[in-house]
Structure 1
Amino acid sequence: MRFGDGAPVTAYAGDLVSQLGPTFTFQQRDTRHPGLDGARGLAVMAMVIGHTLDAVLSPTVREDIWVQHYWTCRGITAPLFLMVAGWAVVAALGSKPTAARDTYGKRVRRALLLIFLGYLVHWPGWSTVIHMGLTEKMLTKVFTFDALQCIGFALLAGATLLAVTPGRWGRTAMLAVMTVGLPLVSADVRAMSEGLPGPLTQLIGSDGFSRFAFFPWAAYFFAGALAANLLGALRPGVPQGLALLVLGGGLFWFMRGQPQDWGPASAWLVAYRIGQGMMVLGFINVLPRKVSGLLAPLGRLSLWVYVLHLPVVYGWSSYAGLSSRVGPTLSLPAGLGIGLALLLGCALVARLGTWLRDQARPWRTGSTTLEASVGSLGSRGS
């Protein structure tokens, strides 16, 4: 094929590339971090199977030593989701000084979507709302605060702070203060929330309310953002993975030597889980790309798998879920089978939904998705 003067198209393309410089490419760059989607995929797998087992395993099976070990390991799932979300937000900013301000509106919209979906999956139904009336008890039930809302509010706070904090070192200091400060003040802030309206108490945190309150759970988001900011100069993959393994292993080892406190507002527990989360991220990063890539497709669908599986397991509105229809009656193999089937089914539905969305909006195909820039999600298990 030639233009009117007879020069081939390839010659024009070559001239254009030479003028734009060696970094120019006609192909869209892959801006996704090679380890983040794999970490999300591992976390969402543990989340769905963990929720299913929690809903259907019989009390006798729960007492098994291996199941108890699994419950202990499962506690990293929600912190890992939050850390990946924070990492993804900072990694997406790149080196452009004004990136945080330029993308602020998009971040706010995504945060509001996460908060809306988080409250939606806990909707108790109109019959419950009408029966309870306009009371604080009803508002507390309608505005049940869970991990997805925590990610949304953390993203909202993080995007705002990143947009107003100048310079790389200023951003580093801000993220460090939030990572360390939130757990340290959580016990006092939660104590001061006593007597506030139920929805606000759940957000802030108080004994007997949300297990994923902003204080101290948002610290995991800022810890992931801080790690991304500090390690951004390293190449994704093995270099970043080794750094994460060293930092996470050192923090984990140090915290194991400190007095243990497994309370809901424990600063020790937050640091302990951050160390574990960094080691998991490091392990996924050092894996060969072909191995971590097996989990990546599931990681990219993690938000929608989260939204889809919760009503199936725990019910939604007036529809009963597995926890009510089956109850704690099954053996471990049966529970694992149901969990894997649910994971596969939700992933297929989510993939079909994203495909239909892409067909309806072809101009958006290939753009960064919600899961890529926000991270994903949380879990009921802790």
Structure 2
Amino acid sequence: MTRPGTSLFDLRKPSSRHPGLDGARGLAVVAMVLGHTLDALLSPELRGHPWVQRYWEMRGITAPLFLLVAGFAVVAALGNAPESAGQSFGRRVRRALLLLFLGYLVHWPGWDTAHALGWGEELRSLVFAFDALQCIGVSLLVGAAVLVLARGTWTRAVVLAVLAVGIPLASTWMWSATHGAPVELRQVVGMPGSRFPLFPWAGFFFAGALVAHLLRALRAGWPQGLALVAFGAALMLLTWRLPSDWSPTSAWLVAWRVGQGLLVLGAVNLVPQVLSRLLAPLGRSSLWIYVLHLPVVYGWAGTAGLAGRVGPTLGLLPTLGVGLALLAVCYAIARVGKLVRGERPSNATTWRARPVPINGAALRSGQRT
């Protein structure tokens, strides 16, 4: 367990890298790549196995965890200075635009498909498919603006709470309100068949931002970890007592997944840091692993991927082997890319021990942000 006074989420100091968040991202990256590989390659006989069905249910936390951590990280990077949100606004906007560009790029269907379909709604629904990266990008733009405009502690808490709760609750109405709108807008807001529309998926982002903002009131270390576990368990208990709703606009489902995600974050904060260190490198390369593995698994621009070339024909062990190999190759390419761009291997200064004076003394190594 993390020692008192140490924390993987030290929210009092601004930092673009929190090892606990990178560890949670790394866990989600592993689940994402293996889940997509199993979806593309696992044979129908094994797909119907009860244990595999149970895994499909658990795998549903992957995308919500990415969004939850993204919102958490935006607030965690600010520190306590009121002006920090304004100082980082330009960087947040550039990051959001990159996410939007890459999100639409990986769904480009190819010129042959474009010529065959013509510029109708069917093609536009493919080109402007609103996926996880776009959802994070737009949420990041809105969140960065909110943090600049809402400067007070309580003001930020109220605004983030309204967004975290209001977006899922308004989802059904928003889908109906944009029913006759152009398909590009319906993909963003929400429509049948859309993957990660803002309503309700942006609720995960702002739930993470709200939790990070509230955790500033607690001492770093196990108090924050226990608070995450307690809040996650409370949400899970609440949803167990309410009627389940698995529809795509379900606020109940958002609360259920947020509870699961907070339990993951709490566990990451409380377990020995060596486990987070193993997963953190994958978390720091999560964007590029996402962009690299999708074309390999599902194809891109008319070129077939593993789903089209191999299909659902493999057993469990071969499929897992392919998934692990794909994860390793994508991570290696991402690392080489960072080295070519001249980035440091692991942002080493954020992992260095930082003594914190307490009654004239200093803590030993472990206070990492």
Same-fold call, TM cutoff 0.5 = yes
CA contact (8 A) 2:15 2:78 kept: no
Residue of 203, 215, 219 corresponding to 1:231 = 215
Q: 1:170 to 1:340 in 2, by over 3 A?
A: same
Letter in 2 for 1:184: L
CA distance in 2, matches of 1:65, 1:318: 34
Partner Cα distance (1:154, 1:96) in 2: 22
Pick from 33, 38, 44: which aligns with 1:53? 38
Is 1:337 the equivalent of 2:321? yes
Which segment is superposed worse, 294-303 or 160-169? 160-169
Instruction: Note the alpha carbon deviations across 1:70-112, whole angstroms, 9 max, x for none.
Output: 1010000000000000000001111110111221111111101
Matched, 1:87 2:72: yes
Shift of 1:204: 0.5
Deviations 1:149-200 (A, max 9, x none): 1000110111111111131110000000001100111000011111211111
Identity %: 59
Counterpart contact for 1:179–1:222, Cα < 8 Å: yes
Deviations 1:354-381 (A, max 9, x none): 111116xx8xx7799xxxxxxxxxxxxx
1:135 corresponds to 2:120: yes
Within the candidate set 122, 134, 144, 2:107 is matched to 122
Root-mean-square deviation (CA, aligned residues, Å) is 1.8
Measured in 1, the distance between the counterparts of 2:26 and 2:216 equals 22
- Give distance in 2, aligned partners of 1:233 and 1:289: 23
Name the amino acid aligned to 1:317: A
Q: How many residues align?
A: 337
Q: 2:302 aligned with 1:309, yes or no? A: no
Q: Mind listing any 5+ residue stretches in structure 1 that lack a counterpart? A: 1-28, 369-382
Change (3 A) 1:187 1:59: same
Cα distance in structure 2, aligned partners of 1:211 and 1:117: 16
Report what 2:148 is aligned to: 163
1:260 counterpart SS class: coil
Counterpart of 1:344 in 2: which secondary structure? helix
Gaps in structure 2 of 5+ consecutive residues: 1-13, 351-369
The answer as to whether partners of 1:34 and 1:285 remain within 8 angstroms in 2 is no
DSSP 3-state at the match of 1:309: helix
Partner Cα separation in structure 1 for residue 118 and residue 57 of structure 2: 39
CA contact (8 A) 1:34 1:237 kept: no
Structure-2 residue corresponding to 1:5: none
Shift of 1:211: 2.3
Q: Which residue of 1 aligns with 2:304?
A: 320
Query: Which of 285, 288, 295 is the aligned partner of 2:272?
Result: 288
Partner of 2:339: 355
Distance, in Å, in 1 between the alignment partners of 2:119 and 2:58 is 41
The Cα offsets for residues 94-140 of structure 1, whole Å up to 9 and x where unpaired, read as 11101112211111111010010000011111121122222222222
Name the aligned partner's letter for residue 321 of structure 2: G
Shift of 1:242: 1.1
Partner of 1:204: 189
TM-score by length of 1: 0.85
Cα drift, residue 31 of structure 1: 5.6
Aligned residue number for residue 36 of structure 1 = 21
* SS of equivalent to 1:93: coil
- Secondary structure of the residue that 1:79 maps to in structure 2? helix
Q: How big is each residue's C-alpha offset from its partner over 1:220-266, in whole Å with a ceiling of 9 and x where there is no partner? A: 00000000000024344432211100110111111111100000000
